[in-house]
Structure 1
Amino acid sequence: MSFLFLALSSVLTALAMPGFLFGFFVWFSLIFLFIALENKSVLESTLYGFLYFFFFSAINLYWVLPVLVENLPRTFSRFPSWLGFFVFVLMLVIEALPFALFGLLYAIGKRSVENRIWLDAFFVASLYTLVDYLRGLGEMGFTGGTLADALYREVGLLQLAPILGSYGLTFLIVLVNRLLYTMMKKSSRPIERVALAVLLIVLVSRSVENFLPLPQDGETKLVALQTHVTPEEKYRSSSMELYSKLEGHLEKLGNVLVVLPEDVFPSDPTRDEVGENLHKLASEKNLKIVLGAVSREGPKNSLFLIDEWGIRRIYSKVRLFPFVEMLPYERIFGAFNFLRGLAYFQPGEAFSPVKVEGYPSIGFQICFESYFSEPSRKLVVNGAEVLIVCTNDGWFAYNIALMQHFSKAVFRAVETRRQLVQVSNAGITGVVDPYGRIVKVSPVRMYDALEVSLIPREEITFYTRYGDLVVWFCVGFVLLGLLLPDQRRIRVRRIWR
């Protein structure tokens, strides 16, 4: 029976993630995990913690499987499909391992905090948040599946992010789950109480949203081009063939900044015919064109600015995607270099904003970097007034993958109080305002030119300046829970005396 509760918790938590069913599931989905962990030994609790996140990740990240067993093997022909399935399972194991630590420390600490309702709730919420934070560190760090992702449409609750960040929201979610779990054990009508608590949380969020300033329009505009080019088409066509499909669309524009996705061309535009044609077009139409391409310098996954003055590289991706763009921990995972994409890249120099004449200071990011708060925070501290994410996302066959990536843009926007524009190949291309509201999006998997009015801002939020201080708070509570004396032993001593 405990195993069924464990599986139910994994399923409900996954169904709360962006693109699935209902985000409000996340307010009670962990209750079943806590029920499953009742009266478990340290070893059993460790295993259950691992299995909870393994099953959750298998559902939440199922869209990665077709990439590994179909898209990458078909495009690059470096490994068979069955090996892609093995890599997917290995990825799930790596994602779930930190939660084995959650199960281990949960079993050790619960004896010290039981019957202390608030201390127990703060200990468990701190432990979950800390483990989830650790999962995002290092060369293989990943933040997909963070509980806060379920709140990307709860604009009212998102207003905590400029202070607490997304991990602060994760802490709040686990805290509510733990308190509801404790309440259920002592209540004769637990379902009604849980439903009432979740309803109150949603009502508070919607009420706060109604008091936010109305969305604004800026004076400067840009055009975000969703190009819709499949991976097979991109890597089996020449740069000039790809350019010919874009040329007609670009010719319709004039006197504006045009932003294209990541990796539009597999070649360096500063050294080929495509760059010459784009420079000529930009000069004739008074265009400023930002596009993604591979820089020969490195090589690097880069963005280039093309205008009447020429072509220059303005940003290169700093945080590279493990295995596809760089090989993490080479001594351990050296055998997995067959997963690389076009090439292994060198990281960019720094998170530096770009100044385009006539436009506010822009902080560019590329693809995977929007999964992390660090790039946005550093760009804003360094002067970025608007954030733009250029991404591909054409590898993914399911819209859930697109939604999960775009949900990260919501958090990066509200954490920094910056307007964020995401420009994608397949989608989602869209705009998020500084309060986390999704203002407009393009239809996915088709060409579209999205006009965006820019809203520059200069304020720096508490979270932008100081980062994830909530994690240090969590460290303190976890240590407190682990170091407190075991209450059972205290009772035994008292009885003995």
Structure 2
Amino acid sequence: MSLLLLVLSSVLTALSMPGFLFGFFVWFGLVFLFLALEDKNPLVSALYGFLYFYIFSAINLFWVLPVLVENLPRTFSRFPGWLGFFVFLIMLAIEALPFAAFGLIYSLGRRSTENWPWLDLLFVASAYTLMDYLRGLGEMGFTGGTLADALYREVGVLQLAPLIGSYGLTFLIVLVNRALYMLMKKSSKPIERIAFVVLLIISVSHVVESFLPPPQKGETKLVALQTHVTPKKKYSSSSLELYSEIEKHLEKLSNNLVILPEDTFPTDPTKNPVGEKMLELSNRNNLKILFGAISTNGGAKNSIFLVESSNVRKVYSKVKLFPFVEMLPYEKIFGMFDFLKGLSYLEPGENFLPVSLENYPSLGIQICFESYFSEPSRNLVKNGAEVLVVCTNDGWFDFNTALKQHFSKSVFRAVETRRQIIQVSNAGITGVVDPYGRITKVLPVRSYGSMEIELSPKRGETFYTKYGDLIVWFCLAVILLTLLLPGQRRIRVRRVWG
């Protein structure tokens, strides 16, 4: 029965994620995990914690499997599809390892908190949040599947993010789940009580949303161009052939700034005719063009180039590289997985500096995977970015679930920093998020398209931008305090027969 409850918890939590069913599942999905963990010793609890997140990740990240067994092998021909399947299983295990620690800590702290409900709430929420945070650290850090992702459409609740960030929202979600678990244990009508609490949270969120100021319309505009080029076509075509496809769309534009996706060209445009042709078009139509390509000066880098008036120059290089594909993490341990790399391993960029363009607000550009983390957005805003831009190539993914999960991260980065975010993607989602987390425009996915965007620049720093994930230090303090408390003594009474 415990294993069935664990699986139910994994499934419900996964179905709350972007691209699945209903986000409100996240408010009670963990209740069944807590029921499964009842009266389990530390080792069994650790195993249950691991299995919970392993099953959850297998469902939530199912869209990674076709990339590993079909798209990468077909594009680069370095490894067979069956090997990609085993890489997927290993990836899930790595993602789940921190939650084995969650199960262990949960069991160890149970005796110290069983007579202190308020401490139990804080302790369990802290343990889960801390493990989720640790999962995102290091060269293999990944934040997909953070509980807060389920709330990307709950604009009212998102207004807490400028204070506590996405991990603060995860803490809140676990806190509510734990409170509902306690309520279920005591109530004779647990389902009704759970439904009432969830409906109350959703209602309050909608009320808060209704009081937010309306979306602003700025005077400065730019154009986002969704190119829709498959990886197979991109890596089997020359840069000139790719440019000829894009040129007919650029020719329709004039007197504007145009932003194209990451990796528009797989070669350095300053060292082939593409750069010259884009410069000619830029001068002819009075365009400024930002686009992604590989730069090779000072090592191969995933970069964004700017075409304007007299030159083509690199303005930003990706700092946080994607593990295994763009760089090999912990080479001594994972050296055997170098077959997963793209064209070649890349060098990271050096800093998060905004791009300054005449007559435009300062643009903080991120590339692809970087929007999964708060660090790039926070540093770009600290360095003066007034609008944030995410250039990405999501053409590797066959399922729209992947596109929605990536775009949801832009929602959190927008609210955390109170900045408008423009995401420009190859396959989609290309869209706009305002500083309150409202999605104001999107293009249809998997098609060529352009979108005119009115910019809403902002200055200043939110509390979260300045101080980051203080919630993590609070979680660590709660866990240490709880584990150091003496456990409640269980007194056994033995009946003496006279």
Secondary structure of 2:489's counterpart equals: helix
Q: Deviations over 1:289-334 (max 9, x none)?
A: 0000000121000000001121100000000000000000000000
Q: Distance in 1 between matches of 2:447 and 2:268?
A: 25
Partner of 2:387: 386
Partner of 1:410: 411
Partner of 1:185: 185
Partner of 2:228: 228
Q: Distance in 2 between matches of 1:243 and 1:226?
A: 14
Partner of 2:315: 314
Q: Distance in 2 between matches of 1:452 and 1:305?
A: 19
Q: Distance in 2 between matches of 1:137 and 1:131?
A: 10
1:79 counterpart = 2:79: yes
List structure 1 runs of 4+ shifted beyond 3 angstroms.
Answer: none
1:468 counterpart = 2:446: no
Partner of 2:345: 344
Q: Distance in 1 between matches of 2:436 and 2:320?
A: 26
Unaligned runs of 5+ in 1: none
1:395 counterpart = 2:422: no
Partner of 2:480: 479
Which amino acid in the other structure matches residue 286 of structure 1? N
Partner of 1:38: 38
1:122-201 to 2 correspondence within 5 Å?
122-201=122-201
Shift of 1:124: 0.0
Partner of 2:452: 451
Partner of 2:7: 7
Partner of 1:299: 300
Partner of 1:92: 92
Q: Distance in 1 between matches of 2:208 and 2:51?
A: 37
Shift of 1:456: 0.5
Secondary structure of 2:359's counterpart equals: coil
Shift of 1:115: 2.6
Q: Distance in 2 between matches of 1:3 and 1:116?
A: 27
Q: Distance in 2 between matches of 1:248 and 1:60?
A: 38
Shift of 1:200: 0.3
Partner of 1:363: 364
Q: Distance in 1 between matches of 2:43 and 2:472?
A: 26
Secondary structure of 2:289's counterpart equals: strand
Partner of 1:424: 425
Shift of 1:488: 2.6
Partner of 1:23: 23
Q: Deviations over 1:360-397 (max 9, x none)?
A: 00000000000000000000000000000000000000
Q: Distance in 2 between matches of 1:438 and 1:342?
A: 34
Secondary structure of 1:21's counterpart equals: coil
Which amino acid in the other structure matches residue 253 of structure 1? L
1:433 counterpart = 2:451: no
Shift of 1:492: 6.5
Secondary structure of 2:122's counterpart equals: helix
Which amino acid in the other structure matches residue 412 of structure 1? R
Partner of 1:330: 331
Q: Deviations over 1:261-309 (max 9, x none)?
A: 0000011111110000000000111100000000012100000000112
Secondary structure of 1:488's counterpart equals: coil
Which amino acid in the other structure matches residue 284 of structure 1? R
Q: Distance in 2 between matches of 1:65 and 1:114?
A: 42
Partner of 1:202: 202
Which amino acid in the other structure matches residue 443 of structure 1? P
Q: Distance in 2 between matches of 1:107 and 1:419?
A: 43
Q: Distance in 1 between matches of 2:215 and 2:457?
A: 13
Secondary structure of 1:265's counterpart equals: coil
Which amino acid in the other structure matches residue 331 of structure 1? K
Shift of 1:60: 0.1
Secondary structure of 1:53's counterpart equals: helix
Q: Distance in 2 between matches of 1:427 and 1:78?
A: 27
Q: Distance in 2 between matches of 1:410 and 1:93?
A: 28
- Identity score, percent: 73
Compared CA separation, residues 492 and 123, structure 1 to 2 (3 A): farther
